[in-house]
Amino acid sequence: MLDVTFITEASNEGGIYLPVDYRPGFMSIIKSAIESESKIQYELMFNRRTVKPYTFAVSFGNEMKVENDKIFFMKPIEFKFSSFELEYEIYVYNYLVKNKHVNIFNRGFEVSHMRFVKKREIKGSFAIFKTLSPVLIRSHKNQNHYLCPECKNFKGDEDFYEALKFSLNELARNLLDIESVEAEFKSINLRKIVVKHMTKYGNLKFPGFVGVFSLEADPHILNLVNKAGLGSRRGEGFGMVELIYEGT
């Protein structure tokens, strides 16, 4: 995993801010990095529909607040980028070494710190994960609907587990060449949220969940989720997880 810290100067509107629909700004950095480092991989990744092997998350610190569709924050931004295929982490790293100043929604940011963090290899068949970015599970019956499990603030969608299995099967088929996945998902401490995303195409809102959950599956599947994320739109800043417990 690549861990990057960005800093910027405060605006004249009372603090540092980005729009609540901030993810496209970081998606642009990733796309620019891949295009800069490998034209072939860029063509393969973005000129056709493909399952992305990576995910990312952005943290604004504990002092953030949301007002008028803007996220105001005081501390530097932490950008975490994880890929099942290491080459993509290297692409982003090399790009940011060469381009220490980047623009995100017309605001200049500077890379102040960057490091690789090796994710622990999961050897058992049981893991507990904490979400670093919201998880979106697209309905396998309606591509415009997203489903959630039982959460503290939501009773759960009826077809969630079937949709989750469909999502895991698609991920494993494309990245591991495994056709069928057996997995058991359990909610531990989850909360349903609604995320504004890709609002340039309309007032789009996506239901997802954040918090802690367990997953029981083959270690290959658990490591895939740990590195590439869980669910839909992972390449757009959703579904990134952190391993907090591993069992047998």
Whether 9 shows a pLDDT value over 70: the answer reads no
Mean pLDDT over 54-64 rounds to 92
Q: What is the pLDDT of residues 71-99, one digit of tens each?
A: 999 879 999 999 999 999 999 999 999 99
Check residue 10 and give its pLDDT: 59
d(CA 189, CA 9): 36
Check residue 61 and give its pLDDT: 85
Mean pLDDT over 230-240 rounds to 97
d(CA 184, CA 126): 9
Check residue 14 and give its pLDDT: 59
Check residue 219 and give its pLDDT: 97
- Per-range mean pLDDT, top range of 5-19, 55-69, 156-170: 156-170
Q: What is the pLDDT of residues 124-149, one digit of tens each?
A: 999 999 999 999 999 999 989 999 99
Domains, the chain, ordered by start:
2-116 (3.30.70.1890), 126-247 (3.30.70.1900)
Q: pTM score, two decimals? A: 0.95
Q: Which carries the bigger pLDDT value, residue 152 or residue 75?
A: 152
3-state secondary structure the chain: CEEEEEECCCCCCCCEEEECCCHHHHHHHHHHHHHHHCHHHHHHHHCCCCCCCEEEEEECCCCCEEECCEEEECCCEEEEEEECCHHHHHHHHHHHHHCCEEEECCEEEEEEEEEECCCCCCCCCEEEEEECCCECEECCCCCCCEECCCECCECCCCCHHHHHHHHHHHHHHHHCCCCCCCCEEEEEEEEEEEEECCHHHCCCEEEEEEEEEEEECCHHHHHHHHHHCCCCCHHHCCCCEEEEEEEC
Whether 11 shows a pLDDT value over 60: the answer reads no
Whether 175 shows a pLDDT value over 70: the answer reads yes
Question: What percent of the chain shows pLDDT beyond 70?
Answer: 98
Q: What is the pLDDT of residues 16-54, one digit of tens each?
A: 899 999 999 999 999 999 999 999 999 999 988 899 999
